[in-house]
Amino acid sequence: MNLTEVRIRLLEHPTDGLRAFVSLTIDRCLVVRDIKVVEGPRGLFVAMPSRRVTDRCPGCGGINPVRARFCGDCGKRLLDQREETDVRGKPLLYADVAHPIHKAGRDLIERTILVAYRKELEHSEMQGYVPQHFDGLDYGEYEERETGGGVRRDPSIRRSPRPGGRSLASPPCPRRNPHGSV
């Protein structure tokens, strides 16, 4: 496994031990976002991206976090203690979205991220520091940056649209007021 890029976004106002968000590129073909650098009682560690565990309301079928007391859709009271537990008996409130399969992979990822975090922290104390950004980077921009734009794309492969349904090249649609002017 080759970790080809690590982007660190330091938090301006760290809270609850959360110090930074990380975007990790693996073998120049897979990006894992929302990895967290967290400071715990035994020092810094890396937390992989996760989502809240949910279940369905028995009344309306609405989806709710397992710790919710009332359904967010119909308002019906939900049963207590609906969550599953791990091998230690602790409730499972979050499920990993992506994670290393073995210890060697986890160690490599954690070591690489923490080295990059410390380096970014050091850079952040220098005058003229500009924080890294992740927003708006799609794979086309990444390819151009990595290869100098010399990659020919296969026209049979369609790119998925960006959130909001527009590509980076197209300008945003102007909103019209009820009187027809822009």
**Which tens digits make up the pLDDT trace of 152-169?**
444 444 444 444 444 444
In which residue are the tokens 């989502």 written? Answer: 51
- The list of the chain residues with pLDDT below 50 reads 138-140, 142-143, 146-147, 149-178, 180-182
Query: What Å distances lie between residue 90 and 68, 84, 86, CA to CA?
Result: 17, 8, 5
Domain boundaries, the chain: 1-49+97-151, 53-96
Name which of 9, 11, 13, 31 is nearest 22 in CA terms.
Answer: 9
**CATH number for domain 1-49+97-151, candidates 3.30.1120.40, 1.10.150.120, 3.30.930.10, 3.40.50.1000:** 3.30.1120.40
Cβ–Cβ < 8 Å for 115, 122: no
Q: What is the pLDDT of residues 47-58, one digit of tens each?
A: 999 998 999 999
